[in-house]
């Protein structure tokens, strides 16, 4: 990785300053912890007993279950659309390709910005989980979050494998988003594939469908899912590499760019 690539990546990152991408990331990361915090405060009769022994672990799974299934893939779809539309909206792709930059530099520097925001989303999601837990415990003493140690290892392990599971979706949506100037096409395609994956989760061939890897990896430590972790991680990484390579090859060989 040379300095020119880093400078170009920094320039791509600066382009996001006057967009709603940062707010999208913060709000998406805060959504599920905030909802679950409200649920705890409204139903202490149900959740007070459930969060007695290992409150952080239970609350962590409450927040990340729906995030892994719906919110994270949807965030990735919207994030890629927003990043690509910076250039489409300002008719900037032709100017970008006119610069003395290699196609690989353009493709991967912008993709790295997407990865940075995904990483930020994962960090903020865990921060908001902790904040929501402490707030719930402060407002209702039945929740003993403050008296239990934060399971840092569990947090990193759970969010890490879920993050790996969404890499295939990340590559697919990045390719679609920079391929089509009409943002409806990648948006509708991504949401359609996500819904299809959730509907067909019981299909035996769904293991080859990248849009369900994040939720499958969430459940990979369940007793009935023993042995699924490594195959799922392998499929997720392979999907990521294949679609990232397809995306770059398609951009590289495309006649009309921008």
Interval 66-104: pLDDT, tens: 999 999 999 999 999 999 888 887 776 777 777 778 888
Tens digit of pLDDT for each residue in 141-158? 999 999 999 999 999 999
Mean pLDDT score of the chain: 90
Residue 3 half-sphere exposure toward CB, CA atoms < 13 A = 0
In angstroms, the CA 29 to CA 23 distance is 10
Which helix (H) or strand (E) is 193 found in, with range? helix 184-199
By mean pLDDT, which of 11-20, 109-118, 241-250 is the weakest?
Answer: 11-20
Token digits for 217?
């990896």
Share of the chain above pLDDT 90, in %: 66
Distances (CA, A) of 48 to 58, 64, 171: 11, 19, 41
Token digits for 90?
């300002």
Average pLDDT over residues 106-117: 94
Q: Which distant-in-sequence residues (6+ apart) come within 8 Å of 229 by Cβ?
A: 161, 217, 220, 221
State residue 237 phi and psi, 5-degree precision.
-70, -40
**Do 143 and 55 contact (CB within 8 A), yes or no?**
yes
Distances (CA, A) of 238 to 155, 191, 206, 231: 25, 22, 15, 10
Q: Which DSSP letter does residue 54 get?
A: S
pLDDT band at 256 (very low <50, low <70, confident <90, very high): low
pLDDT band at 38 (very low <50, low <70, confident <90, very high): very high
Average pLDDT over residues 1-14: 82
Specify the pTM: 0.93
Q: Which DSSP letter does residue 207 get?
A: G
Q: Which distant-in-sequence residues (6+ apart) come within 8 Å of 86 by Cβ?
A: 15, 16, 19, 92
In angstroms, the CA 9 to CA 143 distance is 44
State residue 232 phi and psi, 5-degree precision.
-65, -45
pLDDT surpasses 90 at 15: no
pLDDT surpasses 90 at 195: yes
Distances (CA, A) of 50 to 58, 92, 144, 153: 8, 53, 11, 21
């Amino acid at each position: 990785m040379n300095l020119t690539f880093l400078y170009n990546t920094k320039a791509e990152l600066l382009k996001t300053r006057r967009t709603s991408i940062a707010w999208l990331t913060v709000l998406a990361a805060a959504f599920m912890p905030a909802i679950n915090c409200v649920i705890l405060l409204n139903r202490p009769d149900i959740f007070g007993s459930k969060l007695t022994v290992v409150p952080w672990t239970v609350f962590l799974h409450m927040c990340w279950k729906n995030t892994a299934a719906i919110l994270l893939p949807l965030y990735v779809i919207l994030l890629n659309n927003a990043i690509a539309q910076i250039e489409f909206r300002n008719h900037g792709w032709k100017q970008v390709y006119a610069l003395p930059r290699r196609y690989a530099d353009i493709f991967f520097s912008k993709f790295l910005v997407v990865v940075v925001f995904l990483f930020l989303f994962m960090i903020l999601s865990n921060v908001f989980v902790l904040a929501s837990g402490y707030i719930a415990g402060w407002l209702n003493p039945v929740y003993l979050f403050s008296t239990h140690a934060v399971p840092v290892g569990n947090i990193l392990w759970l969010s890490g494998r879920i993050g790996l599971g969404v890499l295939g979706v990340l590559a697919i949506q990045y390719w679609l988003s920079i391929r089509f100037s009409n943002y409806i096409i990648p948006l509708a395609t991504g949401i359609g594939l996500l819904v299809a994956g959730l509907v067909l989760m019981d299909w035996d061939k769904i293991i080859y469908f990248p849009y369900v890897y994040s939720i499958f990896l969430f459940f990979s430590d369940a007793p009935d899912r023993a042995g699924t972790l490594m195959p799922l991680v392998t499929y997720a990484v392979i999907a990521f590499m294949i679609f990232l390579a397809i995306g770059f090859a398609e951009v590289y060989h495309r006649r009309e760019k921008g």
